[in-house]
Structure 1
Amino acid sequence: MQNDISKLIIQSFAEIAKDKGIDKDLLLSILEDVFRTMIRKKYESDDAFEVILNADRGEIQILHIREVVPADELTDPVTEISLEEALTHDPELELYDEYAQEISITDFGRRAVTMARQQLAQRIREIEKDNIFEDYSDRVGEIVLGDVYQVRNNKDILVNHNGVELLMPKSEQIYKDRYRKGDTIRAVVVEVKRVGGNPTVIISRTSPLFLERLFENEIPEVFDGIIELKRIAREPGDRSKVAVVSHDERVDPVGACVGMKGIRIHAVVRELQNENIDVINYSPDKAEFIKRALQPAQVLKVELSEDAKRASVLVPADEVSKAIGKGGVNIRLASKLVDCEIDVFREVEEEDDIDLYEFEVDFGKETIELLNEIGCDSARAVLELDEDELVRRTEGKITKEEAERIIDIIAYEFEDEQD
């Protein structure tokens, strides 16, 4: 009976430990701790006990070791046994010998054994959580491939990766992504944290790190370190800008990243739901870097502020829309890429435009100056931006209602001129 219970306990938890990747020696250590806890609950101390475990043979042996003493000197029945009682077990024992008596697991009672099993299972779960936390902490920055097994009501996605649950919040999903249960998903591990004691692994498809890892996967020169990705700016699902530099003068970094007929970059674009990717040559010269970042627009002149945190850029009148981009995306990405707020000014053709100060009665001098500060030095320059971009670039000093009014008045003025 004793051996049957021992084998059952060891075998069942050895299988669990194997499935969870827990080291056998660690499992034995946990088993010993659990049984010593069980001993302490019954005898208050485990000093007089030895726990012997043999995982290969599936045996658990608990020995109660006591000193043989005269009956009138017996003070602690946990650490001592009278000579008379000891002789009933082993007639060859003498005074002050050590007597080792094997304790059956069943002697602790069914309830104690059940509690021991529960405690052991709990310890294994805790180790599994620690292993997951440590494993995925080491994987931060790595791409993982998993299967979607649940899409929550709030659009958060739970992903199964080698039996571990990963979380991709809605904020980390490309807005064009649509997933159903069973779909395969590729993302980068960006964070591992503990929530209520449980490890939570956050994965992302919107992080610049995901784009960087995709470049490494598709472009051998990037993986080998010949080409370095110096800066990345993304608006996930729409457009990205990547600044690259080659550490081998024989290798063209932009050409290597794009590939023959765009084959290399297209593999990345497809993974990112057709996100347009501009690959540009990095330059340590900030003015030159800004010119390249605003591609495909042609830049005539760049003037940097003293702290190099703001730049005034002059472009031809017909290039303003390219410099700003649809919805302001090009100028936003360029600003992120170079870490500098960029204000675009156009070459003014007097007969084709209106000086903003002609609207001073409508907008006020302060508003005209605000518009000038963000690069809007003419009426047409204002019309190149939408309401949201005007609010963003003036840091809310012009409200959305004011921005709508400004655009409406200027647009109406040009309509009048055409009439």
Structure 2
Amino acid sequence: MENIALIESFSEFKDDKLIDRVTLMAILEDVFRSALKKKYGEDDNFDIIVNPDKGDLEIWRNRVVVADGEVEDSNQEISLTEARKIEPDFEVGEDVSEEVKLVDLGRRAILALRQNLISKIHEHDNTNIFKHFKELEGEIYTAEVHHIRHRAIILLDDEGNEIVLPKDRQIPSDFFRKGDNVKGIIESVELKGNKPTIILSRTAPVFLEKLFEQEIPEVFDGLITIQNVVRVPGEKAKVAVDTYDDRIDPVGACVGMKGSRIHSIVRELGNENIDVINFTTNDQLYITRALSPAKITSIKLDEENKTAEVMLKPEEVSKAIGRGGHNIRLAGQLTGYEIDVFREGVEEDVELKEFSDEIEDWVIKEFSRVGLDTAKSVLEQELEDLIRLTDLEEETIREVVKVLREEFEE
């Protein structure tokens, strides 16, 4: 047969472990039927026999013998004279099976067949890869740095699959070189065209949760459950844990002796400061624990509006707010409450919202976001700290400080 060159095309793929024999045969038949339709207009009267193991292929066209001069459809019918050239004893009305040589399809058709075949097999591979990684969404995965770009790192796993770690899914302190192994969570898998795009993340809260499962046996076994995780990647995280077994100290089990159990997690996350706290349905106690290491004097809750006014001694306020306002922000995210901090024993203080006629609302909200709700809470901070804590310009902060000082000088 004149099919050797084309057979070599699919022989390259027949041992691919992602393609079983039945699937490969189906792909080959589909490709050849497309070519037959293009040449003959239809393919329902063709039989295709594929044997990928032997690298063999046969195509047979079935037609009905009609009297000479009565052929209306040359694809479905054959004249008696032409039929007897194949077999001399054919009669009108009988079926004729004639082998179609690949050379009959034409050179351009054969080249198109090869390209179509390769495309179909790659499409099949990509579908399998997509399904495989779709099942791994939310799971930890490790791959090797292959190429470093400005906006992303391209990774390859042991199977040669390409995985993307975007810049915004990297911990700020992350620094990788080509050949380094990178651990993260499979965040999303999408088909763009026919190619799967696999996104890895090291900043997602679920990555920290899965690290707990990986490193702490009681979490893996389900003796300790993780109720919530909030993070500022690379800076600080809070993890609320619980257990149904009163004999287990969930916080102690997660942290380990002198932090031995959590140390590897902290190191993986670029020395991210991780607070592990006991979960409780008592909102007041939950907020108290969430604001650790600050010691709370009292809390006033508005459960309907999900707000909490927390009273602290002046020396505890900075602990509650934390560097960059991370502690109070994460405590709010963990508990679901908007937390306002007030200093105990501070007299003649004025809430910032009272200055709304002189200070714009968005500026007041930015100070409130980091726990600075009163005039004195702002004035007690150094200018450099206010710049670091908020997203405000230095000029804006100086104007606010000037307005607040004038209030107390009066």
TM-score (norm 2): 0.88
**Native 8 Å contact 2:350 2:374 kept in 1:** no
Distance 1:411 1:327, change over 3 A: farther
Specify the alignment match of 1:404 in structure 2. 398
Specify the alignment match of 1:273 in structure 2. 270
**Native 8 Å contact 2:6 2:110 kept in 1:** no
Structure 2 counterparts to residues 131-210 of structure 1, below 5 A: 131-154=128-151, 156-161=152-157, 162-210=159-207
- With 98-107 and 191-200 compared, the bigger mean Cα shift is at 191-200
Q: CA deviation at 1:173?
A: 0.4
Q: CA deviation at 1:101?
A: 0.9
Q: CA deviation at 1:73?
A: 2.9
**Native 8 Å contact 1:390 1:403 kept in 2:** no
Q: How many angstroms apart in 2 are the aligned matches of 1:360 and 1:144?
A: 48
Q: CA deviation at 1:157?
A: 0.7
Q: How many angstroms apart in 1 are the aligned matches of 2:300 and 2:388?
A: 21
**Native 8 Å contact 2:351 2:373 kept in 1:** no
Q: CA deviation at 1:401?
A: 3.9
**Native 8 Å contact 1:6 1:58 kept in 2:** no
Q: How many angstroms apart in 1 are the aligned matches of 2:321 and 2:250?
A: 25
Between the aligned residues of both structures, percent identity stands at 42
Structure 2 runs not aligned, ≥5 long? none
Q: How many angstroms apart in 2 are the aligned matches of 1:256 and 1:358?
A: 42
SS at match of 1:192: strand
SS at match of 1:2: coil
SS at match of 1:206: coil
Specify the alignment match of 1:53 in structure 2. 50
Q: CA deviation at 1:105?
A: 1.1
Q: How many angstroms apart in 1 are the aligned matches of 2:196 and 2:283?
A: 42
SS at match of 1:342: strand
Distance 1:149 1:9, change over 3 A: closer
Q: CA deviation at 1:360?
A: 12
Matched, 1:62 2:59: yes
**Native 8 Å contact 2:170 2:203 kept in 1:** yes
Whichever structure has more helix as a proportion of its residues is 1
TM-score (norm 1): 0.87
Distance 1:358 1:308, change over 3 A: closer
Letter in structure 2 aligned against 1:231: N
* Among candidates 20, 24, 37, match of residue 23 of structure 1: 20
Letter in structure 1 aligned against 2:135: D
Structure 1 runs not aligned, ≥5 long? none
Distance 1:368 1:52, change over 3 A: closer
Q: How many angstroms apart in 2 are the aligned matches of 1:10 and 1:364?
A: 74
Q: CA deviation at 1:195?
A: 3.4
Specify the alignment match of 2:14 in structure 1. 14
Aligned-pair Cα RMSD in Å: 3.1
Specify the alignment match of 2:98 in structure 1. 101
Q: How many angstroms apart in 1 are the aligned matches of 2:308 and 2:353?
A: 25
Distance 1:368 1:34, change over 3 A: closer
Q: How many angstroms apart in 2 are the aligned matches of 1:58 and 1:29?
A: 15
Q: How many angstroms apart in 1 are the aligned matches of 2:352 and 2:307?
A: 26
**Native 8 Å contact 1:136 1:192 kept in 2:** yes
Letter in structure 2 aligned against 1:193: E
Specify the alignment match of 2:312 in structure 1. 315
SS at match of 1:13: coil
SS at match of 2:241: strand
Specify the alignment match of 2:386 in structure 1. 387
SS at match of 1:67: strand
- With 95-104 and 378-387 compared, the bigger mean Cα shift is at 378-387
SS at match of 1:111: helix
Q: How many angstroms apart in 2 are the aligned matches of 1:380 and 1:47?
A: 83
SS at match of 2:29: helix
Q: How many angstroms apart in 2 are the aligned matches of 1:53 and 1:376?
A: 77
